[in-house]
Structure 1
């Protein structure tokens, strides 16, 4: 199984839209992806895909499963959009650190161990996600904490959206220290599958920054603010937005879809996955999936 977390220390670099569009790119090729978004704020992946509805505390959600108090089965958590299975975010994610801390204290009082940063991995293993899915994508918030640590512990790999600016460059450098610290604290190895420069305007400074990124950058996404804003407005991927909501198709936006398709194939190849029905990169009508 291909498993990765989309993460950047800098906010607003397209982390969530990257996760969403790569998930659909995998699905378009005939693979079965599961996306686990972990961001408690309103502008989350659940909202992007239009599955952000049930937020009451009594509703079963991923946090309840992580603290071993589920109100139903894991499968009942899942909603599907554009061929992608999604576990919607819930308000309880905002207090995840507190919930996990309480469980740890109770476990230790009983002489038991409770790994605060391994609970998502435990839940996914219990649901046989590794056998049932081809791709697992986690989308945590940009801040450090149990959301990020659980995501990385479950996937062990990163795809890093990068803003080609001094701010983005600093975030990449900070990420190297973060990865090293997580590897030591969690006793795991973490790989970076790719960095994805976003909002590229082809300036000299941006080219220099991209050349200095210490990770593979197989694709570089240009300034696509209008396309990505349209995705949020219509609550869908870029593929669906161009296919169903654009009155005319713009060549540069089709190029962006092709880039997500190619990046998805490159990520799959790194773990030896061969997609059964890969599209011609950027073919909007290929394998259209009805939600």
Structure 2
């Protein structure tokens, strides 16, 4: 199984849309994909795919309940399927994840037991047989340090970095490099960076110079696609579905971006040691393409 976290310290770089579209790109190639978004804010992956209807329902079962050992049902009941990918929707309980985990840690220590607050997402996924059921797991944490990010890193051990082509973005990459190294040393795990994906590039000379300084492999450089990405959020779908169903005409640069999502997915799969059984021609959109799952 390939597991990775899509993360950037800088907000507004398209982290969530990259995670969402890579999930669909993996699925288009015949892989079974689970996405675990962990952002407690409303503008999140669950909202993008329209599966956040229960996020404010305090009585609803949710991932946080499973992480603190108080589920109200089986893990599989949490799953929603959209565009062929399985998603664990975000819930407002994520805002209090740190407090919940600290209470569980205190209870364990009161009984003389150890409790790793950063290992609880990994435990939940393992107990649900996720490594056996899925080919790819993508975790999308918020752009801040804390238990959401640390649980994501501990669970996946791999990072894919969306990069803003600016000095701020470069500083965020360096900061994440230090964070991942320190976290790995603290918990005695190996954390790898699969690659970096510059997003929103407009092709200025300054940006081109900054791109040369990225210290990781760059499988693709995604241009400024503000209109397409805003359309995805408006229609609550991936870029693949948006271009196929909500554009009256095909724009070459948008199809090129879809091809890049496919190419990044193949790159990540190769880095993670898995092979997709049926990869499409990058960017291909079959008008009669059936939905794999409803």
Q: Same fold (TM over 0.5)?
A: yes
CA deviation after TM superposition for structure 1 residue 236, in Å: 0.3
Q: Does 1:8 align with 2:1?
A: no
CA distance in 1, matches of 2:281, 2:71: 42
Structure 1 equivalent of residue 81 of structure 2: 80
CA deviation after TM superposition for structure 1 residue 272, in Å: 2.5
Structure 1 equivalent of residue 34 of structure 2: 34
CA distance in 2, matches of 1:199, 1:273: 28
- Superimposed CA distance per residue, residues 198-220 of structure 1 (whole angstroms, 9 cap, x where no aligned partner): 01111111111111010001100
Counterparts in 2 of 1:40-189, with a 5 A limit?
40-55=40-55, 56-189=57-190
Q: Does 1:193 align with 2:215?
A: no
Matched position secondary structure for 2:144: coil
Matched position secondary structure for 2:97: helix
Stretches of 4+ aligned residues off by more than 6 angstroms: none
CA distance in 1, matches of 2:87, 2:187: 26
- The answer for unaligned runs of 5 or more in structure 2 is none
Structure 1 equivalent of residue 256 of structure 2: 255
Structure 1 equivalent of residue 215 of structure 2: 214
Matched position secondary structure for 1:247: coil
CA distance in 1, matches of 2:23, 2:275: 15
- Superimposed CA distance per residue, residues 5-53 of structure 1 (whole angstroms, 9 cap, x where no aligned partner): 0000000000000000000000001100000000000000000001011
CA deviation after TM superposition for structure 1 residue 102, in Å: 0.5
How many residue pairs get aligned? The number is 291
Structure 2 equivalent of residue 19 of structure 1: 19
- Judge conservation of contact 1:28–1:288 (CA < 8 Å) in 2: no
- Superimposed CA distance per residue, residues 182-229 of structure 1 (whole angstroms, 9 cap, x where no aligned partner): 111221111110100001111111111111010001100000000000
CA distance in 2, matches of 1:258, 1:288: 19
Normalised by the length of structure 2, the TM-score is 0.97
CA distance in 2, matches of 1:43, 1:284: 27
CA distance in 1, matches of 2:24, 2:274: 16
- The answer for unaligned runs of 5 or more in structure 1 is none
Normalised by the length of structure 1, the TM-score is 0.98
Matched position secondary structure for 1:194: strand
